[in-house]
Amino acid sequence: RLVSINLQTIDSLNLDYCNMIALCAPSDFANSIKGAMLTINTHKPFIAFGPIAKQNIAVACSLVKDLYDFWALEIEQNSQQFFVLATPKSKNITVNGFLKINLDGEENVPNTQN
């Protein structure tokens, strides 16, 4: 039996209010964020996503890097899989227990070495 699912962007929902966008695998995180840019610019929600491989974090975060700070938590030690939380820069939030991700330098993703 074939089941068909109609996919919608977050922006197509025309939300009046949005505090948080939560995305989970196997979602294409970068495209999901791209489809939420109007919502993101309007409401400045927290964005949470994962698990995501270390090497894919910078791409997923690139569209909103000027508006958000990024924090990562490795799902399991030495797994190279992360849960990422994006917080609006305008709210100046620190996330205790998470590693801050630097998207401006050469080291674009968390350093997982102890």
Q: Does residue 112 or residue 86 have the better pLDDT?
A: 86
CATH architecture of the domain formed by 16-101:
2-Layer Sandwich (3.30)
Residues 85-104, mean pLDDT to the nearest whole number: 92
Confidence of residue 5 (pLDDT cuts 50, 70, 90): confident
Concatenated DSSP letters for 8-46? Answer: --SGGG--S--SEEEEETTS-HHHHHHTTHHHHHHH--E
- What's the pLDDT at 86? 97
Contact 68, 88 (CB under 8 A): yes
pTM for the model stands at 0.85
Tell me the two tokens of residue 93: 């939030």
pLDDT greater at residue 54 or residue 47: 47
Between 48 and 104, the more confident residue is: 48
Mean residue pLDDT of the chain comes to: 89
